[in-house]
Structure 1
């Protein structure tokens, strides 16, 4: 993974709910470490396979997005860090990301 990014990421802790597109009823609470208008790094309790299609929603349910897992790395003994590339966003994500 390159240290050079196309855009700047903002360090931000936001509570989110993650679910696989194929199993949207199974959600996991997680938190972001940083975000940009096209992606985010999320800390999660489980391993996620690369290219898994994910639904991301804020804990208050007002922000929704679809994303693809681009990497999953061990973060600590019981935590993983996943990189998500946003593939579709609601208006709320678009408006919010314009302020990053």
Structure 2
């Protein structure tokens, strides 16, 4: 005689579905050495990688406090500006320089 599978209650169904959604949120499937493996997802903030989020949203004080100096923009005024390659002379419509 075949066994009859017991039906899950609605509470059990919703718990099972919530657990599955949680696993999908935490883990992803990738192929390693020709086999599928489940690994943890990389952390994200607002749907973008953490490094990209920090680059776009961090202020200079926070970057300095967390020793992320490589992400700080370099200001040319601090190190001296290079001489301008543009000439200060102008030409009129006849090609005369003054």
Q: Tell me which structure has the larger Cα radius of gyration.
A: 2
Give the structure with the larger helix fraction. Answer: 2
TM-score normalised to the size of structure 1? 0.16
Give the structure with the larger strand fraction. Answer: 1
TM-score normalised to the size of structure 2? 0.16
